[in-house]
Amino acid sequence: MKKCPECGNPSYDGAPVCGNCGYKFPKAKVVAPKSEDIFQKEPKEKKDSNNEDTVSIIKSKKLIIGAILLITIIAICGIVLMGNSNSGSNSSSPLQSIDNVKEYSAGDFAFKYPSDWQDLNETDLEHPGAKFIQKDNITIEYYNVTSSADSIKEITQGIITSAQGKGAFVELVETITLDGRNASNIVLEDADGDYTRYVSMFSEGMTYVFKVNGDSMNSVTSEEINSVINSADIA
- DSSP symbols for 171-197: EEEEEEEETTEEEEEEEEE-TTS-EEE
Q: How much is the pLDDT for 86?
A: 45
Return the higher-pLDDT residue of 18 and 184.
184
Amino acid letter for position 201? M
Tens-place pLDDT, residues 186-223: 999 999 999 999 999 999 899 999 999 999 999 999 99
Chain segment 38-69, per-residue pLDDT in tens: 445 555 555 555 555 665 666 666 667 766 77
Rounded (10°) CA dihedral 46, 50, 56, 58: -130
**Helix/strand/coil for 86:** helix
Q: What is the dihedral of CA 187, 189, 194, 196, to 10 degrees?
A: -30
pLDDT band at 17 (very low <50, low <70, confident <90, very high): confident
Return the pLDDT at 94: 62
8 Å CB contact between 18 and 25: yes
Assess whether pLDDT exceeds 70 at residue 178. Answer: yes
pLDDT attached to residue 158: 92
What is the pLDDT, as a whole number, of residue 211? 97
Secondary-structure class of domain 94-234 per CATH? alpha beta
Q: Which of 49-53, 107-111, 133-137 has the lowest mean pLDDT?
A: 49-53
Compare 136 and 56 and report the one with higher pLDDT. Answer: 136
Distance from C-alpha of 13 to C-alpha of 25, rounded to nearest angstrom: 10
Average pLDDT, the chain: 81
Selection from 79, 144, 138 nearest residue 111 by Cα: 144
Q: Return the pLDDT at 71.
A: 73
For the chain, the structural domain boundaries read 1-31, 94-234
